[in-house]
């Protein structure tokens, strides 16, 4: 089973805790031991936001801010690489082609951001499409996809399952409102729809949630299921 996991920076390194990064590396190693080919895309989290806010006050333009963001995603990716040791690619891949090449060499392929104007959500979707991944997992700080921002609206309801086209519809208005936070960004949702990628959005605070989701399909987040897509055979076998 070939999977791509997008690990939010706020999930991997909210406060640069070595035990947390090591726990994520252990979860990924568990997946590899169970026969998964694993690609990982790491986000920037709070560190990215701090750099971006500081540079914005200095007068940096949006592309410069994005480049700072990309730099922090790659720093976080290097942390994970350090924890994974020899199983991982030597350095964060600079594009999805390089990341795919690392997968072919049987390495755990780790990368951060690649180009201004997007986030690592979209990088993960493009990576998953380029390697025909069986599953794309977003390990975020929100427990799935909601019909409104759960931090702002107490009546927000979580989707247990939705189609990629429905994901685009849900994310579209959230992307228009400044300050509202979409669970995955619009470009990622569009790529998931275009490539018909089976995906899961879950709370990745506990890295074992990613293991349970990948190996058995067990999670409390949201399944994004393309029309007609069956379950990965591994899940059926595990039940």
How far are the Cα atoms of 8, 25, 87, 177, 207 from residue 22, in angstroms, in the given order? Answer: 15, 5, 14, 36, 10
- Nearest residue to the partner ligand UTP, using Cβ: 69
If one asks whether residue 77 binds ligand UTP (CB under 6 A), the answer comes out as: no
**Which residues within the stretch 199-238 sit at the binding site for ligand UTP (CB under 6 A)?**
none
Residue 125 CB, nearest approach to ligand UTP (Å): 11
Stretch that binds ligand UTP, among 37-45, 148-156, 166-174, 204-212 (CB under 6 A): 37-45
Cross-strand bridge partners of residue 111: 41, 93
**Which residues within the stretch 118-137 sit at the binding site for ligand UTP (CB under 6 A)?**
118-121, 123
DSSP designation for 158: B
Give buried/exposed letters for 147-177 (b at 16+ CB in 10 A, else e).
Answer: eebbeeeeeeebbeebbbbbbbebbeebeee
CA distance 69 to 123: 13
Find the helix or strand (DSSP H, E) in which 132 lies: none
Binding residues for ATP: 9-10, 45, 49, 140, 146, 149
Number of residues that this document lists for the chain: 239
Stretch that binds ligand UTP, among 32-40, 112-120, 191-199, 203-211 (CB under 6 A): 112-120
CB of 99 closer than 8 Å to CB of 39: yes
Among 37, 66, 107, 193, binds ligand UTP (CB under 6 A): 66
How far are the Cα atoms of 154, 179, 239 from residue 151, in angstroms, in the given order? Answer: 7, 11, 35
With CA atoms as reference, report the closest residue to 113 among 96, 88, 131, 130.
96
Binding residues: 9-10, 44-45, 49, 66, 114-120, 140, 146, 149
Nearer to ligand UTP, 115 or 220 (CB): 115
Q: How many residues contact ligand UTP, by CB under 6 A?
A: 22
Stretch that binds ligand UTP, among 63-71, 89-97, 220-228, 230-238 (CB under 6 A): 63-71
If one asks whether residue 109 binds ligand UTP (CB under 6 A), the answer comes out as: no
Residue 104: count other Cβ atoms within 10 Å of its Cβ: 10
Among 99, 114, 191, 192, binds ligand UTP (CB under 6 A): 114
If one asks whether residue 183 binds ligand UTP (CB under 6 A), the answer comes out as: no
If one asks whether residue 96 binds ligand UTP (CB under 6 A), the answer comes out as: no
Among 39, 113, 207, 221, binds ligand UTP (CB under 6 A): 113
Find the helix or strand (DSSP H, E) in which 202 lies: strand 199-203
CB of 69 closer than 8 Å to CB of 48: yes
Q: Which residues sit at the interface with ligand UTP, rule CB under 6 A?
A: 8-10, 43-45, 48, 65-66, 69-70, 73, 113-121, 123
């Amino acid at each position: 089973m070939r999977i791509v996991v997008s690990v939010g920076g706020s999930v991997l390194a909210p406060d640069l805790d070595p035990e947390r990064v090591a726990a994520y590396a252990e979860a990924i190693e568990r997946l590899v031991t169970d026969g998964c080919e694993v690609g990982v895309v790491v986000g920037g989290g709070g560190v990215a936001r701090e750099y971006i806010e500081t540079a914005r006050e200095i007068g940096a333009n949006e592309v410069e801010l994005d480049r700072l963001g990309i730099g922090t995603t790659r720093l976080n990716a290097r942390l994970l690489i350090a924890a994974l040791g020899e199983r991982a690619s030597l350095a964060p891949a600079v594009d999805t082609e390089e990341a795919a090449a690392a997968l072919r060499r049987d390495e755990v392929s780790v990368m951060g951001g690649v180009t201004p104007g997007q986030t690592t959500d979209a990088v993960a979707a493009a990576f998953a499409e380029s390697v025909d991944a069986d599953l794309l997992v977003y390990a975020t700080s929100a427990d799935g996809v909601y019909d409104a921002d759960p931090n702002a609206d107490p009546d927000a309801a979580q989707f247990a399952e939705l189609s990629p086209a429905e994901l685009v519809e849900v994310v579209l208005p959230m992307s228009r409102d400044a300050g509202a936070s979409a669970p995955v960004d619009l470009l990622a949702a569009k790529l998931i729809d275009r490539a018909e990628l089976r995906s899961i959005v879950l709370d990745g605070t506990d890295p074992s949630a990613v293991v349970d989701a990948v190996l058995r399909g067990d999670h409390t987040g949201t399944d994004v299921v393309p029309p007609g897509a069956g379950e990965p055979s591994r899940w059926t076998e595990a039940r």
